[in-house]
Structure 1
């Protein structure tokens, strides 16, 4: 039995269909049961198109010589006619059958009996045929035998469509994961490459602020400096987010820190200078040494303050409270204004999420996500509560390790 080559335009599709049928565990049992119940020596699930006949699974007990993946000339088979009519063809004995006596299929393959039932997917697409053949006559037109074939063909059709949907979903998921990885790598590279020109802008801003004899230039420098600081924070957030999504997570370097209070006051001063129209009240007291990542805790406070300044009402002060209590470093930032809705509270730490009321240009929606990652990397908890009466308060609880 010769194996015909696949046509180039249908090769990939047929190969996928063969693999799909091969993965259906019930198919080998169905084919064995067909041969056992009918006495026929060869049974197959065939993919039948308007151009080709391909075996996807076979049960060959008579050495017919066709394995899975093998092809027959479509017009040499009766499946071609079954596909055209979308109906079963059942022949107990070719020599006695008035319609198929002397048919070329029987002569080519030396057949005595034949049955082929269409496999039509739930979508209505024609997949192929469930068929069986033998060199000797067999009683296959019996209603029970035909009914068995029809039930098996329907079962196989359901399984094929289900498997195809699963494969499509898996392929889409794999593609999305690849695309997501490429996006995060692009973000990381872009963030890294932005640092050099931003440093040049920052240096220019610093020079302008030193021109004390020219107040207008000083104001421009201060504004430019504030903008570069904000851009630097955005780049840091993007870089941290990309590293986290690429699997390395938010990195922390835990060490004994003696001057954490001073470091955090510097953050408050920086935000206060960048937002002179806002009132910031800080109460920072850390009398003991704390084990933490100094830079990351500064970033935590900076992001929390940035969020409070952006989303809080300018009518109320932003309050910073930092203490060490019960072997925990407590960092809280509170702002006044409208409360965050209960639905939104559950999403504030999601990446890229921003409330519908956010003003344009308010950031990427990564600040609170980064805060959460920093606190988690320290083995701590970040909590939020919000009400119209009390305002919104974020509290980070980090173990001091002392």
Structure 2
């Protein structure tokens, strides 16, 4: 990653160095240890040299945020080589006696060490200058500059990480508020018009007489039920994503089979053209759970079977006890579901490519999984040509 010469980015980086509280102390130590009377942390690119922090005891006149022509500095050469540059006495130095930088700025001693961030980004240089000669090219002094440059780089990285974390936290708080508002709108504001639609449908059905009015009334009632179901599904999704999980109104259910029989009876009446078979074996055990949620679980599984199973083959609902569990099966015939698809069916909003338009939001099986989890159970799906597609739910029973 390379820094750019964008003024906004430069201002951001200058401010970041300004927030690193150790930088002023490091610049003072540099000056005290070396005798240099000007030290700076500079942000350096191929096109700009910008002072981010300054210790100026010679009235050099370069403020924080001030810039030098980058090609007049030696920092650009240190950047290109990614190595320190230092000399003690420019006038007598065989390399820098004729160099333009000492001549332009009237300096005799100079040291510049690269500041490279942990991700490899070249940030700039820790540098010091003085019009008088000073010993700065020895290994001990250069090691001190390198260490300070590493400290500054680490602090800048930490500053950037903390800023990103703060922004992420603020974004999450805003998202959480939006979720709460979303739930409030779904739970209250949208239910009012749905109730109005349902009421209009019931009114038309009670009037009777005109076949057209009866047909419209029945359509309004079905539409209201479907809209109410979609609202409930999205509310359940929102609650689980907020970390609260599916809410349960727990009670001791002495015979869960009766609760599931009621669900099957309703769907048999609603789909008289489908073959729905019920096989409830020894389920005379107690379950600690939410009756309504357990009925919603079976209703969703049956709805899935009705939507995706073969209409010419039976749907079988069976339940029995096995060890310490109540085991519920919903099986349907039809095309075998590929293994890679089985891995996705419990994901929210996921629907197979063969789904018909308007078939729902793809939340039914996801909500089934969350209901089972809330009850401390497990759910899995399998599909083969021999036994069709089977959803198996296991729920723990209450001892005694």
TM-score between the two structures when normalised by the length of structure 2:
0.73
Could you tell me which residue of structure 2 aligns to residue 207 of structure 1? 203
Q: Does 182-191 or 153-162 show the bigger shift?
A: 153-162
Instruction: Please give the secondary structure, in 2, of the residue aligned with 1:353.
Output: coil
8 A contact 2:37–2:58 mirrored in 1: no
Gaps of 5+ in 2: 1-6
Q: Does 42-51 or 265-274 show the bigger shift?
A: 42-51
1:339 aligns with 2:336: yes
**How far apart, in 2, do the equivalents of 1:121 and 1:145 lie?**
23
Could you tell me which residue of structure 2 aligns to residue 393 of structure 1? 390
8 A contact 2:260–2:298 mirrored in 1: yes
Q: Does 162-171 or 172-181 show the bigger shift?
A: 162-171
- What are the within-5 Å matches in structure 2 for residues 1-400 of structure 1? 11-19=11-19, 45-47=41-43, 50=48, 52-55=50-53, 71=64, 74=67, 81-82=73-74, 90-93=86-89, 96=92, 97=97, 105=105, 113-117=109-113, 119=115, 127-133=123-129, 137-140=133-136, 170=165, 173-174=168-169, 177-178=172-173, 180-192=175-187, 193-211=189-207, 213-258=209-254, 260-284=256-280, 286-400=283-397
Q: Does 42-51 or 347-356 show the bigger shift?
A: 42-51
**How far apart, in 2, do the equivalents of 1:126 and 1:301 lie?**
60
- Alpha-carbon deviation of 1:124? 10
- Alpha-carbon deviation of 1:92? 2.0
8 A contact 1:35–1:43 mirrored in 2: no
- Alpha-carbon deviation of 1:153? 10
8 A contact 2:275–2:314 mirrored in 1: yes
Per-residue CA distance 1:161-181 (angstroms, 9 max, x = gap) = 976885686467546634643
8 A contact 1:82–1:118 mirrored in 2: no
Aligned residues: 378
**How far apart, in 1, do the equivalents of 2:8 and 2:27 lie?**
31
**How far apart, in 1, do the equivalents of 2:51 and 2:397 lie?**
72
Per-residue CA distance 1:328-362 (angstroms, 9 max, x = gap) = 33222111111221112222222222223322222
- Superposed CA RMSD in Å reads 4.7
Per-residue CA distance 1:225-260 (angstroms, 9 max, x = gap) = 333222222211111111111222211121123564
Per-residue CA distance 1:368-389 (angstroms, 9 max, x = gap) = 1111111111111112111133
Instruction: Please give the secondary structure, in 2, of the residue aligned with 1:71.
Output: coil
**How far apart, in 2, do the equivalents of 1:331 and 1:238 lie?**
25
8 A contact 2:31–2:37 mirrored in 1: no
Q: Does 178-187 or 153-162 show the bigger shift?
A: 153-162
Instruction: Please give the secondary structure, in 2, of the residue aligned with 1:226.
Output: helix
